[in-house]
């Protein structure tokens, strides 16, 4: 089973100690289509849970990405600047940012894989 957690806005994250690695779900990737640009957050910037912190642009649209947890950005995936399609390759290659969490309890409000899969069935 996946160790990822999910939001209803199609963000996903994996917890590594007190750091959350944030990306977008396969559902969001397919909905966006061909990716052409990613605007990443600045390292050192702080965000509250639910705040817009990145933008993923495709040939179809631009989608804001919201942080599922509060904290400070400790890394941004600069490889995406040169190749936005890495997002679709794998979570290991296509994560957007790493955020040092200020309230790990916020993780409890996110969905696990089974709950997210059930949620996706309500969207059809």
Q: List pLDDT tens digits, range 83-99.
A: 999 999 999 999 999 99
Q: List pLDDT tens digits, range 13-67.
A: 999 999 999 999 999 999 999 999 999 999 999 999 999 999 999 998 999 999 9
Q: Residue 120 belongs to what H/E stretch? A: helix 113-121
Domains of the chain: 5-103 (2.40.50.100)
Sheet with 19-24, strands from edge to edge, namely 5-6, 11-16, 19-24, 97-101, 71-76, 46-47
Contact 66, 34 (CB under 8 A): no
- What does pTM read for this prediction? 0.94
């Amino acid at each position: 089973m996946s160790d990822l957690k999910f939001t209803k806005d199609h963000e996903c994250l994996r917890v590594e100690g007190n750091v959350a690695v944030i990306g977008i779900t396969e559902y969001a990737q397919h909905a966006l289509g061909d990716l052409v640009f990613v605007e990443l957050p600045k390292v050192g910037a702080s965000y509250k849970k639910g705040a817009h912190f990145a933008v993923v642009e495709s040939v179809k649209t631009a989608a804001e990405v919201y942080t599922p947890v509060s904290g400070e950005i400790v890394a941004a995936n600069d490889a995406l600047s040169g190749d936005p399609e890495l997002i679709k390759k794998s979570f290991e290659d296509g994560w957007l940012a790493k955020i040092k969490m200020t309230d790990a309890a916020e993780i409890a409000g996110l969905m696990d894989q089974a709950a997210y899969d059930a949620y996706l069935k309500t969207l059809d």
